[in-house]
Amino acid sequence: MPSLFYLLLASFLFLPIAPAQARTLQTQTLANGLKVILVEEHKAPVVTIQVWYRAGSRNEVTGKTGLAHLTEHMMFKGTPKYGKGEFSRSIARVGGTENAFTGKDYTAYFENLSADQVGLALNLESDRMTNLLLDTKEFQLEREVVKEERRLRTDDDPQSLVVEHLFATAFLVHPYHAPIIGWMTDLNNLERNDVTAFYKRFYSPNNAILVIVGDIDPKKLLPKIQQTFGKVPKGFPVAPFRIAEPEQTGERRFVIKKEAQLPFVFAGYPVPNFFHPDNYALGVLANILFSGKSSRLYRSLVYEKKLALDIGGDYPNLSANPDLFYIYGVPQPGRTADELEKALYAEIEKLKTEPVTDPELQKAKNQIEAGFIMGQDSNFYRAMQIGIAEAVGAGYAYQESYVENIQKVTKEDLGRAARTYLIEDRRTVGILLPQPRQDKD
Amino acid sequence: MAIRKFQNASGFFIRLLLFGLTVFLSQVASADAAPAGKVSAKRLVTENGMTVVLQEAHSLPVVNIQMIIKAGAVLDPEEKAGLAHLTASLLDEGTATRSSIQIADAIDFIGAELSTRGGDDYASASLRVLKKDLAAGLDLLSDILTRPSFPEPELQRIRQEILGQLIAEKDEPSTVADKAFNQIVFGAHPYHRPTEGTEQTLPTIARADVARFYDQHYRPNNTIMTIVGDITESETVDFLKTYFGSWPQKLIPTATFPPAAGLEKPTVKLIDKDLTQANMILGHLGIDRRNPDYYAVTVMNYILGGGGFASRLMTNLRDNQGLAYSINSHFQAGAFPGSFSVSLQTRNAAAQQAIDGVLAELRKIRTLPVTDRELGETQAYLIGSFPLRMDTSAKIAGLLAQIEYYNLGLDYAERYPKLIGSVTKTDIRRVAQKYLDPDHLALVVVAKQDEAKIREN
């Protein structure tokens, strides 16, 4: 069902496409501006079709947060040709699955289905690219569904509240400030016309990428794409995105007090994205800190010190604009957020002063390379890697050369990146302080 | 990052396989090369009794291995609930020749994925490794399965972690609801217990308990292994000999379980928490996986609430009333009858309206026939989506393990269309009447109760 990506809950890894696979990739841009990327993979008679729009929560304005995600939900509510529910039913009827997700920089729609049904997905997706009904009653109902989604994922999850608050604190100007699901008051105030305007502005072939991976013959498929997506009229040009976050010059901190069992510590550091050469070193740093039971945080804080029940973090290299390198932990019962926070920073400081060992660097590179080879097993995953890279402006070529660039990272690069970016004055920290419940069982 | 209870939907049975000692492998069944997307696996049984299912897949230099060991939490003594799960969690925490740290370093260095989990019906282990590192990966996998040492300090540490997770879970309303629901529905049957044990039982488990449980149940003749990937039959035979050949088989003790009695009257449990949403689960006992009505129930449940956006519950409560983001119904069909349940969340004030909506759908599917269109579309989906259950090597390995565990036969994929396609409208109404009982439901609501105002009768 339509859902949105949460930073912490993203279940996929940002890993690249194998160079060996690149030979089977074909790309073409239609006259209306739609970029088409096709990858042949014949191991099973199935295919994934993904339509990526360069429109996510960063394209919303103050007071209208949640609009990109609500628009995603409305995309399932019918066109004159395929009425409400007909989209999902048509795909299910041929044994397919379909869904969508909204991110900060993009909204993506997908169908996984039998290769001989690819034409159906092309018909349906090209139709709703331009013919959406946007019925007022449906809008009002769906807004209630999204509010339930917000209650489920955020309002009743104290850790999610911390994450939401952290981005709102770290980003003052840039729209990464707002949660993808939107603030509850904004959800209450959104109107059907807001969706109409957002849809008209961003849902056009010239602002989209069509990615298809699977058991396809591009020679036969391209004419079908022309007959469907090729007929969608070109939309307004989308103005370049110009908002940039001013530099942070001192630590920002906040506390959330909620009924909860255990504290939670979440810290973020502004870092460059794929655009900057340091992104490879930051990727390796994230791997060394977070990946596997041999990672530094797990080994030190969970295994040796028995201080953390859970730790983690990530470096989102594929954000359209510079994002946060983040790190989090839940203390073991009986241990404090303060102890855990200090221990997390101690691990980061170590990266600045002591070079990582050769085997440790090699392990990180091996993990990244193995992860990307294993990722080729899934059509859906491969299409996602291409779609994300294209949607955020990195381009699929970035993915193709990712492992090669990771191999070039040196110990010196890691120390320098840690000293440059993972510093106290650029840090934003959120702490969940559990409150005893107001008992009345 | 949330720590959740591992639930499986599979079964448990005990059987001792004794094969001749002259040939290491006996090939029991083999389907010839089938079209892409079909199962074309080979089934072998090793000399020491391990069932092995192999499907070659050479498009990527990767090997996936999935193992099922019939050593699930159902076997736990009541007062030591969590024993099976703890045992599985400790497998990779030390062996006769490797420490926990050495295992973690070795597996991460080759970029492989190695994991073990304890479930209700069985424990599982999986390995995903690059072909070039297969020997190293198998060395580790066989070491943790056949020679674990259960070091006392690691047991203490893992137990502390599980106890910590039990505390953390209290912040997950759906987990709180599910646990309370299982307590009510399963009565004396072991499914009533949390797989990972409780704050009362975990501290009573000693290293000797773990070692004994391991010794009794972790045996090749109690294990299924599926292999999918860039590996040939002869390579498989060689590695089975090298890495698992000396794992001694042993007679597996038989176990009996008290049955789960149905509820005599509707049971409501309200748990008060400071939440914006009421988290609800309602249902009762369901069926086991070997029930001949399994396929008719699958079709019926898809129409009711299993079928994503196509289901009646989703259409009526989400799409037409805006009451929930997520709503589904589920038959957990394992070795023993699991639960039938409907789960949903809605704002506190709408809780009773949502419950009434669910009840109305349960009654409707029992009394009125489903439409031809509903039946046709459901069958088309279930049959047509089968290839998507086999579109990655890891999924194939998991599916083959289920096929073997339930003796479904390596021709299961070919038979599946008939199993689903032969279900009729009459069957659906019959199984709805037989397996849905809206008058004897267990209902658990985790909510801000003074806003939810649930009727308790």
A195 in any annotated domain: yes
Q: B192 with B186: CB under 8 angstroms?
A: yes
d(CA B7, CA B332): 9
Residue B44 lies in a domain: yes
User: How much is the average pLDDT of B312-340?
Assistant: 94
State the average pLDDT over residues A200-227. Answer: 97
Task: Establish if B394 belongs to a structural domain.
Answer: yes
Per-residue confidence at B239, pLDDT binned at 50, 70, 90? Answer: very high
- The owner of tokens 């997770």 is B165
| B144-156 per-position pLDDT tens digit | 999 999 999 999 9
Domain boundary among A200, A231, A262: A231
Domain final residue pick, B183, B209, B244 = B244
Residue B49 region by backbone torsions, left for phi larger than 0, else alpha for psi between -120 and 50, else beta: left
Residue, of B261 and B63, whose pLDDT is higher: B63
Confidence of residue B23 (pLDDT cuts 50, 70, 90): very low
Residue B324: its chain A contacts at CB < 8 A?
145, 148
Chain A residues inside the 8 Å CB shell of B308:
1, 88, 92, 97
The whole domain housing B365 covers 267-452
Q: What are phi and psi of A184, to 5 degrees?
A: -60, -40
B203 and B237, same domain (yes or no): yes
- Tell me: the pLDDT tens digits for A219-235? 999 999 999 999 999 99
Overall domain count for chain A? 2
When CB atoms are compared, the residue of B36, B167, B346 closest to A261 is B167
Q: Output b/e per residue, B349-376; b: 16+ Cβ within 10 A.
A: ebbbebbebbbebbeebbeeebeeebbe
A92 neighbourhood in chain B, CB within 8 Å: 307-310, 377, 380-381
| B149 shares its domain with B279 | no
In a domain, A247, yes or no: no
Pick from B38-52, B156-170, B219-233, B391-405: least confident: B38-52
Work out the percent of chain B whose per-residue pLDDT is above 70: 91
Mean local confidence (pLDDT), A78-106? 95
* Residue A170 belongs to domain spanning: 3-231
Same domain, B278 and B422: yes
Confidence of residue B38 (pLDDT cuts 50, 70, 90): low
Q: Which of B60, B390, B393 sits opposite A373 (nearest CB)?
A: B60
Is the CB of residue B400 less than 8 Å from the CB of residue B226?
yes
B194 located within any domain: yes
Per-residue pLDDT at B177 exceeds 60: yes
CB contact under 8 A, A141 and B392: no
Residue B355, domain member (yes or no):
yes
Reply yes or no on whether the pLDDT at A11 is more than 80: no
Is B20 part of any domain?
no
- Whether the CB of B393 is below 8 Å from some CB of chain A: the reply is yes
Per-residue pLDDT reduced to its tens digit, A313-357: 999 999 999 999 999 999 999 999 999 999 999 999 999 999 999
Whether residues B299 and B220 fall in one domain:
no
- In this complex, which of B62, B377, B383 lies closest to A374 when CB atoms are compared? B62
Residue A271's pLDDT is 98
Taking only the tens place, the pLDDT of each residue in A26-54 is: 999 999 999 999 999 999 999 999 999 99
Q: Are residues B273 and B162 in the same domain?
A: no
Cβ within 8 Å, pair A96-B272: no
Please check whether residue B126 lies inside any domain of the structure: yes
Distance from CA of B399 to the nearest CA of A (A): 15
Distance of CA B162 to the CA centre of its chain: 19
B17 within some domain: no
Does residue B39 surpass a pLDDT of 90? no
- In the predicted model, is pLDDT for residue A15 greater than 50? no
Pairing verdict, β A428-435 and A252-259: parallel
* pLDDT averaged over every residue in chain B: 90
Same domain, B190 and B333: no
- pLDDT score of A439: 54
Phi, psi for residue B382 in degrees, rounded to 5: -60, -40
Q: Which residues contact B295 (CB under 8 A, 6 or more apart)?
A: B419, B420, B422, B423
- The reported pLDDT for the residue numbered B32 is 36
Which CATH number characterizes residue A29's domain?
A: 3.30.830.10
Q: Helical H runs in B187-232?
A: 207-217
List the CATH number of the domain containing B78.
Answer: 3.30.830.10
Percent of chain A exceeding pLDDT 90 equals: 93
Residues A264 and A227 in one domain: no
| Pair (A214, A348) in one structural domain | no
Lowest mean pLDDT among B17-26, B152-161, B262-271: B17-26
Give dist(CA B124, CA B120) in Å, integer: 11
Q: Indicate whether B240 and B319 sit together in one domain.
A: no
Does A227 share its domain with A261?
no
For A115-220, strand residue ranges (E) read: 208-214
Does the pLDDT value for residue B8 go beyond 60? no
Domain termination residue (choose one: A231, A262, A278): A231
The strand pair at B51-56 and B223-229 is best described as parallel
Which among A84, A141, A332 has the least Cβ separation from residue B164?
A: A332
Residues A175 and A299 in one domain: no
Is residue A97 pLDDT above 50, yes or no? yes
pLDDT at A2 over 50: no
**Residue A208 sits in the same domain as residue A272:** no
- Whether A149 sits among the annotated catalytic residues: the reply is no
Average pLDDT over residues B221-247: 97
Q: Are residues A344 and A407 in the same domain?
A: yes
B194 with B150, same domain: the answer is yes
Tens-place pLDDT, residues A380-428: 999 999 999 999 999 999 999 999 999 999 999 999 999 999 999 999 9
Q: Which of B244, B275, B299 is the last residue of a domain?
A: B244
Mutation to test the A interface, candidates B391, B392, B450, B451, most A Cβ within 10 Å:
B391
Residue A237 domain-assigned (yes or no): no
ipTM of predicted complex? 0.92
